[in-house]
């Protein structure tokens, strides 16, 4: 089935690499115009170059999504550059793990800020434009479907030792998803979430891999998994392998496409069958 999104304008956060880049590529390959947002400007430019092959219009905006002003700026640029807000994928995030007794207030709040506060601010910023445009369309007798996809995790759905902050943020985004789905149904917006399992990105690389050190502003956060833990977890996946960023993007694309026009407020688990 050839699904075209050629008349759609999409925002993908955390699009500098990994799952975000794969989601943006999937949308661009279907013809959507895509705004890539990420804290890493050089990674954004790499993503933009990689997406050039699809011939779709791609723009970038670098900045910190935990800043209220930047959340507003992403929506403003999407409207100014493309004239519409049709798809929002709240994908940006990272892990900063520890057991509860070793988790600082700063660490816990950082996980809430990036995984639920930032998506909330992006959607709040988009709400005014979406509501007004939907009213105009309905008055003209048109039904134009728009899409929001929030990213959660099996850690947020089932919990995971050592991820008290990450799991809390990823659980909270489910509540946001289900609530906004009920508020925005009247505007022909579907709001869903995809919960990832072990997708092979830098967040689960072996901890001796240099890619597992990431910088968030002035913070340098160690991500990744102990090699033996990674190997053990991979063996537990019923489908027998780690997921790829493309696997993750395919699940998100379903919720961005017309195939999901009558699906809202749902969580699709993309994990190869594993649940913690």
List, by residue number, the catalytic residues.
Answer: 166
Q: Which two tokens stand for residue 164?
A: 């008290």
SS3 call for 265: coil
What's CA 185's distance to the chain center, in Å? 20
8 A C-beta contact, residue 188 and residue 6: no
Helices (H) and strands (E) in the chain, counts: 9, 9
Q: How far apart are CA 10 and CA 84, in angstroms?
A: 8
Q: Let me know how long the chain is.
A: 276
Strand duo 267-270 + 189-196: pairing: parallel
SS3 59: strand
**Partners of 249 in the beta sheet?**
none
**Pairing relation of β-strands 213-216 and 219-222?**
antiparallel
For the chain, what is the radius of gyration of the CA atoms?
18
- Which helix (H) or strand (E) is 172 found in, with range? helix 164-184
DSSP state of 38: E
């Amino acid at each position: 089935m050839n699904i075209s999104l050629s008349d759609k304008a999409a925002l993908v956060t955390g699009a500098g690499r990994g799952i975000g880049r794969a989601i943006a590529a999937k949308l661009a390959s279907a013809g959507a115009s895509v705004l890539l947002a990420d804290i890493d400007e050089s990674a954004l430019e790499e993503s933009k170059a990689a997406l050039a092959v699809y011939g779709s219009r791609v723009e970038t905006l670098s900045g910190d999504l935990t800043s209220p002003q930047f959340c507003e700026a992403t929506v403003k640029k999407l409207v100014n550059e493309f004239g519409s807000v049709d798809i929002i994928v709240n994908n940006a995030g990272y892990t900063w793990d520890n057991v509860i007794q070793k988790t600082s207030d700063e660490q816990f709040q950082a996980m809430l800020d990036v995984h639920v506060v930032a998506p909330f601010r992006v959607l709040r910023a988009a709400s005014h434009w979406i509501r007004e445009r939907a009213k105009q369309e309905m008055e003209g007798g048109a039904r134009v479907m728009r899409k929001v996809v929030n990213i959660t995790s099996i850690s947020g759905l089932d919990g995971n030792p050592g991820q008290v902050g990450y799991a809390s943020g990823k659980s909270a985004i489910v509540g946001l998803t289900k609530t906004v789905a009920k508020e925005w149904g009247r505007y022909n917006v579907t709001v869903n979430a995809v919960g990832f399992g072990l997708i092979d990105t830098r967040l689960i690389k072996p901890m001796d891999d240099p890619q597992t050190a990431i910088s968030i502003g002035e913070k340098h956060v160690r991500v990744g998994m102990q090699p033996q833990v990674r190997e053990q977890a991979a063996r537990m996946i019923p489908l027998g392998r780690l997921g790829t960023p493309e696997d993750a993007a395919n699940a998100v694309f379903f919720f961005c496409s017309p195939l999901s026009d009558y699906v809202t407020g749902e969580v699709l688990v993309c994990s190869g069958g594993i649940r913690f």
